[in-house]
Structure 1
Amino acid sequence: MLGLIQFLRQTRSIARIEAGFFLRKSKLVWSLAVVALIPSLYTVIYLSSLWDPGAHSTALKVGIVNLDQGLVYREQPFNIGQELTETLQSSAQFDYQVISEVDQAKQQVRKGDLAFSLIIPANFSANAIPGEQAGAGQLVVFASQGNNVETARIAQQFASELGHKMNERLNAKRWSLVLTSAAGSKENVTRLHRGLQDLHDGASELSAGSKLLTKGAKSVHTGAQRLSGGVSQLTQNTQKLGAGLRNMEASRPRNSDLRKLSEGADALANGVHELGQGLSKLKNGSHELNTEVSSFKEEADNSLWVTPALRGNVTLVSQGLQQLDQGIGSAVNSNEKLEEGARNLRVGVNTLSQGMRQINGALRAATAQFPEDAQLDALDAGASELASSTQTMLQGNEKISASTQRLEMGLALVIKAVPNFESTPAGSPEGLADSVRPLVEMEAAVQNNGIGFIANVIPAALWLGAGIAAFLINLRVLPKHAETYHRTSQLAGKLLLPGALVGVQCALILFCIWGVLKVDVVQTVPLLCTVFSAGLAFFCIISALTHFMGDAGRALAMVLLAVQLTSSGGVMPVELSGSFFATLSPWLPITWLAHGLKATLFGAFEGTWLVEWFKISAMGLLALGVTTIWGRWRFVFVRQLRPQLDL
């Protein structure tokens, strides 16, 4: 196994021979210095040219040809072309040159004396102010793309921004006219709108009332139908009642009959009274007779002269008189009751007579005031007509309800159609013309335009510097005495000098980033690791290509530089370069470096640089390993060794 001391000794032996070729001649020493400076000079020169193009835009000559004749619109004069010319000259964005002729301005553009020209037609105000159709007011920006593509792109961007600003200004003027003209009619239209609103509110209330009226009409119609049926039954029953009353009135007893009845009751009461008086006298006589017979019977019972037969007869007579006396007493009691009944009958008959007289009077009055059948028939017909009329009223109310609803909806449409000046925009004409301005929130901000190209320039500079360093020496030849050296020592000794030169190139590029370009680096140490690792990895890759392929490897390295710059997405998104480059991009070292530089310089990609650094370093170590294992050297005598540079 190769020891460290032996490795260092063998490496130094080969490196001293390579260094000796350069140190013996001052021209070669200066060439090394130039080679070390080339990547940093390339970086500074290229980025300086792109650093802040906008700061030098005043050096770009732009012609203005104003032919606008102006316009009097709604009693106000306008000359948009003159205003535009004065605005552009006061902005000092470019070096504006006022030219009177269109052909002269175009000729100067063709010759390259002007970057581009702005031509304002004579009818510009006349077409732009009314705004009758889109794009009526045309501004001509004349440029020559063949003279300079970037200048043509600036002209296109200028035309786009100018169109936006002119539309914004014209819209502000139009809004000013709209707001001014609207102020005069605002009050009348507002009154009309309010009146329509009140009318709509009244129609809404009328609609609601008509709905309630229709509902009530339905109830009335239902009640009228029930009333008609009830009146019909009432009429029939009333007619029957009238017929019965008339029959009763015709059959009632006459007052003479009632008087006779009263007189008969009085006579009956008087006869019963007289009968009672007679019975009382009879009772008294019977009592006296009974007393006399009882006395006679006692005497007969005590007399011896009275025969038993006579005595028995007297007893029979006495018993008969006693029975007669009892019968007369019962008759007297019954007569008293009969007399009382006769009195009650007389009172009842008198009361009945009076009541019947009153009933007779009431019957006569009721019969006289009771409606005739014709009147009851008319009432029945009127109730039926009322029910029919309520049906017609219900239908009419339903039509009124539907009409009020249509009226309400129509008024609502009219209110929407009439502008409501109470909601007129309250902003200024400028605000109404330009009310939306996008706000761009930028992550991983870049200081200026030039710094944005660093991710594309530094990889190119590192690859270019590594290629030039590899071209300084012959990477396929070693001195004869190194033939016995270990493969690792052979390659390390051969690459030590140009590798050190690459390290100097990396250091100078970092110095330019901090010292010359004054870039605010987000991650310092990762940037150091990324730049040095990338420079040495690129050198190892180019050295491997040159070792295996010779001059063809050098040419292939330059082709790879072009392919990688196109596919890295350093400046333009790689997706815009085409599917071939987009597919190739993730597998190229410069793509990894561009990603790592953006992460360390700007904090882009969330600052993730370690993976890219690892891939770049692994690619360089892979190139070294392949060259060490499979590389073939040509061994010559030291006197046959020569540097690649011919100075």
Structure 2
Amino acid sequence: MKNILKIFISDVKRIRKNVIAMIVVIGVLVVPCLYAWFNIAASWDPYNNTGNLKVAVASVDEGYTGSLIPLEINVGEQVISALRENTQMDWVFTSKEKAMEGVKSGQYYAAIVVPEKFSTQMMSLFSDQIQKPEIIYYSNAKENAIAPKVTDKGATAIQKQVNQVFIQTISDTAMTVFQSVSNMAEANGADRLVDNLIHNLEDASDDMDMTASTLETFSGITSSAQSLLNTSSDFLKELKTESADGKQILENSKKTFTDMKTTISSATESVGKALKAGKKVYSEIKLLLDQTVEDGINGSEDTVDTLVKAAKTVDKNIKSFTTLRDNLIKLSEKHPETDSSLGPMIEKINRSIEKQEELRDDLTDTAASMKKSTTGLISDKKALDALVKENQKRLQQISKEYENDVKGTLQKLADSVKDTSADLTGLTKQINASAKGVYTLTDTAGSDLSEIQTCLDDSGKLLRKSANKIKKITDKLTKAKDNGDYADLEHMIYDDKSGVSAFLSAPVELNTKKIYPIDNYGSSMAPFYSTLSIWIGGIVLVAMLKVTVSEESIKKMGLKKVRIHEIYLGRWIIFLILGLLQSTLIALGDLYYLGIQCAHTFLFLFGCWFSSIVYVTISYTLTVSFGDIGKAGSVVLLVMQVAGTGGTFPIECAPKFFRAVYPLLPFTHSMAALRESVGGCYGNDYWIDLAKLGIFLVIALFMGLVLRKPIIRMNEAFTEQLEETKII
């Protein structure tokens, strides 16, 4: 700790003694502040200065003259008159040709042209061929990136204003017509005109009541249909469950048919193999008998063993045929349609088994008798040969019948089972699709019916309300007629003509209530530019000041056995203090020189201080560890954070890569904390953001204190290679 303090004190003394060093330090402290202050001041309130944007306006509207009612209207002229009083932008009123040429040359940021038939198309609302009028908007996107967005908002405002002017003009004209009717009523036939008006209004009110009743009836029907559809939906849900069960049954059936096909195919193959094996066995037995008799006549001692072996072979063949017969019986029981082919074959296999059993017994008896004497061997051999030939003949006949009759039947059955399995697969898919489609239909129809019922109810209420208003007007007219005072009628229609027209042109107003209100754009941008300036301050420090202590300086300080971490921390302290001074100047300038809005002044200062500690440590550690490459790394991090931390636009508007790295960048958490202090805190978000920022401080210190030794060796080798180039 003593060595760390000595290094720090030595740094302070050397700076105090050198005037040039003091000037450099002052410059290092001031430069980052200027970056923040200039940018915040330049963007202080741009959207309230749009009155300096030149936008050309031209109208070639020919106007409209009514044929039925003496109405003359020129919406283009009214737009021009309204814009002359509008200070939202610097409107320049000129001709169409000059407006378009000015946009092309860059004299105007945009131009708005009202075409010739604009008023006529506006009034087509009252004809059977409605034409939607258009205002032509020209924009010069080359001149400035933001200006087209601002002028586009101005064009939208004009569109809204035109709509209001049109509705207000039509309403005002209608009121004027009513006034004319009132004046004419006083002069000629007042009672008759008022009677007609009352009669027409009563008819209109009755029609509205009737229509409302009809809509209410339809609403009731829709409600009933909704209930019916809900019941149907429940039924379909049950049907869907049953369909799922049915699907499982079909799947099981499909598996059964697949297993059945496998069984039939296996049985077909087994029968063929068994018959071929039987033929081979009896050929071997015949040769064995011939050899046995020859050996018996010659007095061979192996004759008895040979006969016993032959008897065992026949017995093994009997077991194979017995298994084959049992399998064919099972197959016949499962598939009665094969009984006509398999039945005779099973009978013949049974007789073959009986003859083979007889042959086995004779072989056994012959072997027993040979133990006593060889007399009669030849006659026994003839009897055995006869049995062997008979069994061979039976096997040949069974094999022939199998190939000609049974095998084809079994193959057809297997193919039929395969087709049935395929049909079941298709049926399962159709059931799935049908159940899903019907269920989706009920859900969609239920939602649509609910919306229709709501619409019908709202329409019915609106008609009832309108009918009641008309009835009130009718009552007033009746009262005015009975009293003979038509001044009331004129008062109803004319006195508040402008108010009625204004209401009809803009019946709805937007009431905006801001949460965490901020007075101006500069205050909103202060967290971003302040954070950016603090990081730039760290880069300026590592660029202007040395991050290592030379051996000569260590000797002058009289230090012995100085460790690497002591050098790191000793020089780090001076960087830390200068960084805190930078952030203090930046924050105080924002607050008291520029006068940004700030709900929590101390929290703003503390956020800048803590951000400076983290940023300076990151830049210092990178430079200590990697030299000039570390400085470049600090610049790369700066560029990445400017683009990827949502400083100017919401991060949701950025590309996917920047949205992914957004939470991994220090700027993100510094700006979030400073925004809390500027606009107002929500819960513990301020301290949570600073805690997240502290993670980067821990990582930087770990790299500088623990990982520095292996990094130093690698960096020294890298530096030597660069110095050899004599360029870098």
Q: Which moved more, 1:451-460 or 1:624-633?
A: 624-633
Residue 533 of structure 2: aligned partner: 461
Q: Quick check: 1:152 aligned with 2:148?
A: yes
**1:10-25 maps to which residues of 2 (within 5 A)?**
10-13=7-10, 16=13, 19=15, 24=18
Contact 2:56 2:108 in 1 (8 A): yes
1:81 to 69, 76, 81: 76
Instruction: After TM superposition, give the deviation of residue 55 of structure 1 in Å.
Output: 4.2
What letter corresponds to residue 13 of structure 1 in structure 2? S
Shift of 1:432: 2.0
Match of 2:105 in 1: 111
Distance 1:428 1:444 in 2: 37
Q: What code does the residue aligned with 1:113 have?
A: Q
Kindly state the Cα deviation for residue 599 of structure 1 after the two structures are TM-superposed: 0.8
Q: 1:546 to 1:198 in 2, by over 3 A?
A: closer
- Which of 589-598 and 132-141 deviates more? 132-141
Per-residue deviation, 1:89: 1.9
* Corresponding residue of 1:164: 160
TM-score, length-normalised on structure 2? 0.52
Cα distance change, pair 199–35 in 1 and its aligned pair in 2 (3 A): closer
Which residue of 1 is the match for residue 688 of structure 2? Answer: 611
Q: Is the 8 A contact 2:43 2:522 kept in 1?
A: yes
What runs of 5+ residues in structure 2 fail to find an aligned partner?
Answer: 182-192, 210-459, 474-491, 494-498, 717-728
* Alpha-carbon contact 2:523-2:596 (below 8 Å) kept: yes
Partner of 2:415: none
Any idea what the Cα deviations from partners look like across 1:272-327, whole Å, max 9, x if unmatched? xxxxxxxxxxxxxxxxxxxxxxxxxxxxxxxxxxxxxxxxxxxxxxxxxxxxxxxx
Aligned to 1:584: 661
RMSD (Å) for aligned C-alpha atoms: 3.5
Within-5 A mapping of 1:432-443: 432-443=504-515
Partner of 2:27: 34
Paired amino acid for 1:130: S
TM-score normalised by length of structure 1: 0.58
Q: 1:522–1:600: 8 Å Cα contact kept in structure 2?
A: yes
**Letter paired with 2:70:** E
Q: Partners in 2 of 1:533 and 1:164 — Cα distance?
A: 49
Q: Deviation at 1:607? A: 6.2
Describe the SS at the equivalent of 2:146.
helix
1:8 paired residue among 5, 10, 17 = 5
Q: What residue number does 2:38 align with?
A: 45
2:401 maps to what in 1?
A: none
**Deviation of 1:538 (Å):** 0.6
Partners of 1:198 and 1:487 in 2: CA distance:
97
Shift of 1:576: 1.5
Q: 2:588 aligns with which of 501, 507, 511?
A: 511
Structure 2 counterparts to residues 317-332 of structure 1, below 5 A: none
**How far apart, CA to CA, are the structure 2 residues paired with 1:573 and 1:126?**
44
Give the Å deviation of 1:64.
1.9
Q: Give how far 1:30 is off.
A: 3.0
Shift of 1:597: 0.6
Helix, strand or coil at the partner of 2:706: helix
Checking the alignment, whether the CA contact within 8 Å between 2:61 and 2:76 is kept in structure 1 is: yes
Greater RCO (Cα-Cα under 8 Å, separation 6 or more): 1
CA deviation digits over 1:92-133, x for unaligned, max 9?
333322222x33222222222222222222222222243468
The residue number in structure 2 matching 1:422 is: 471
AA in 1 matched with 2:609: F
Relative distance call for 1:8 and 1:66 in structure 2 (3 A) is: same
Is the 2:121–2:130 Cα contact (8 Å) retained in structure 1? no
Describe how 1:190-205 pairs up with structure 2 within 5 A.
Answer: 190-192=198-200, 194=202
CA offset at residue 176 of structure 1? 3.2
- Within the candidate set 47, 63, 71, 1:70 is matched to 63
Partner of 1:243: none
Residue identity opposite 1:9 in structure 2:
K
Distance across 2 between alignment mates of 1:622 and 1:117: 55
Q: 1:532 aligns with which of 585, 605, 609?
A: 609
**Aligned residue among 670, 676, 697 for 1:599:** 676
1:454–1:509 distance in 2 versus 1, CA, 3 Å:
same
Match of 1:96 in 2: 91
CA distance in 1, matches of 2:667, 2:131: 46
Q: Which amino acid aligns with 2:124?
A: P
User: Which runs of structure 2 are paired with 1:147-546 in the superposition (5 Å)?
Assistant: 147-178=143-174, 188=196, 190-192=198-200, 194=202, 421-422=470-471, 428-475=500-547, 478-480=550-552, 481=554, 484-546=561-623
Displacement of 1:448: 0.6
**Partner amino acid, structure 2, of 1:157:** K
Aligned length: 416
Q: Secondary structure at the match of 1:431?
A: helix
Distance, in Å, in 1 between the alignment partners of 2:207 and 2:63 is 48
Question: Does the C-alpha gap of structure 1 residues 193 and 87 become closer, same or farther in structure 2, counting only changes over 3 Å?
Answer: closer
- CA contact 1:527–1:601 (8 Å) conserved in 2: yes
Partners of 2:591 and 2:670 in 1: how far apart?
19
Call closer, same or farther: CA 1:534–1:554 in 2, change over 3 Å. Answer: same
State the 1:489 CA deviation.
2.5
Residues in 2 aligned to 1:491 and 1:135: alpha-carbon distance in whole angstroms: 78
Distance 1:560 1:589 in 2: 9
Deviation, structure 1 residue 602: 1.0
The one-letter code matched in structure 1 to 2:55 is V
Q: Which residue of 2 aligns with 1:353?
A: none
Instruction: Summarize deviations over 1:28-51 as a string: whole Å, max 9, x none.
Output: 533332221222211111111111
User: Which letter maps to 1:472?
Assistant: M
Is the CA contact 2:78–2:165 (under 8 Å) kept in the aligned structure 1? no
Q: Counterpart of 2:581 in structure 1: which amino acid?
A: V
More off after superposition, 186-195 vs 542-551: 186-195
Q: Specify the code of the residue in structure 2 equivalent to 1:42.
A: Y
CA spacing shift, 1:496–1:179, aligned 2, 3 Å: same
Q: Structure 1 CA distance, aligned partners of 2:115 and 2:202? A: 48
Question: For 2:641 and 2:620, how far apart are their aligned partners in 1?
Answer: 17
Distance 1:108 1:197 in 2: 56
CA contact (8 A) 2:32 2:534 kept: yes
Gaps of 5+ in 1: 202-411, 637-647
**1:171 Cα deviation after fit:** 1.8
1:51 aligned counterpart, secondary structure: coil
